[in-house]
Amino acid sequence: MIITYLGGEFVKAQFGDTILAFNPVSKDSDLKTAKFGADIVLSSLNHPDMNGVDQVSFGEKKPFVISGPGEYEVKGVFIKGLASQSNYDGQTPSNDARINTIFTVALEGMNICFLGAVNTPELPKETDEGIEDVDILFVPIGGNGVLNPAQAYKLAVSIGPKLIIPIHYGDLGSKDALKAFLKEAGENPKPEGKLTLKKKDLEGKDAEVVVLEKE
């Protein structure tokens, strides 16, 4: 599997000929987008920064779009969508909070958990119980309606993944979020480009932080 970080919460994961796009940036966003063909789109939040299906429909690729809770199987990929909340983009912590979908994805013998724009380190009981045996965790750290660095690390550790990949910082949220998150983790990893992983590469890992450079 090859994982590429495209900024914001936009992540591309490719295994063989199958491409997944997590929270792609739409052309209506102020964020920089990227255009390619995806087979599956996972959109956590109905917001232009995270619902850019238009940008990952390219050529013959017309993606299967998942944007809410439920269980799905697409092209041999098993996906669960789990409900949570977000206060991204000015929503207040009240009944106006947006629905944020957390995704778990099983592929190539590895389990991905993508938290999207979640805003609380304490997840609903049903959602928490639905997250199991996570290998790779994507966690938002930028504050301003999503988890702040301290909350993000607390939740990440409680989930117990082998690898933790921070997203939603710099071009979204606090500019100092990554520095603060790494301080919470007590780590200072060298940023990497594309991350290429096989199941065996995860052996012996325990909540290890990986920082991906924005492509």
Q: Classify residue 153: in a domain, yes or no.
A: yes
Domain range for 82: 2-209
Number of domains in the chain: 1
In this predicted structure, the answer to whether residue 69 has a pLDDT above a threshold of 90 is: yes
Q: Classify residue 214: in a domain, yes or no.
A: no
Q: What's the length of the chain?
A: 215
Q: Classify residue 69: in a domain, yes or no.
A: yes
The amino acid that residue 40 corresponds to is I
Q: Classify residue 215: in a domain, yes or no.
A: no
Q: Classify residue 155: in a domain, yes or no.
A: yes
In this predicted structure, the answer to whether residue 61 has a pLDDT above a threshold of 90 is: no
Note the pLDDT tens digit of each residue in 36-57.
999 999 999 999 999 999 999 9
In this predicted structure, the answer to whether residue 98 has a pLDDT above a threshold of 90 is: no
| 0.85 surpassed by pTM | yes
CATH number at residue 25: 3.60.15.10
> What integer pLDDT is reported at residue 215 of this predicted model?
85
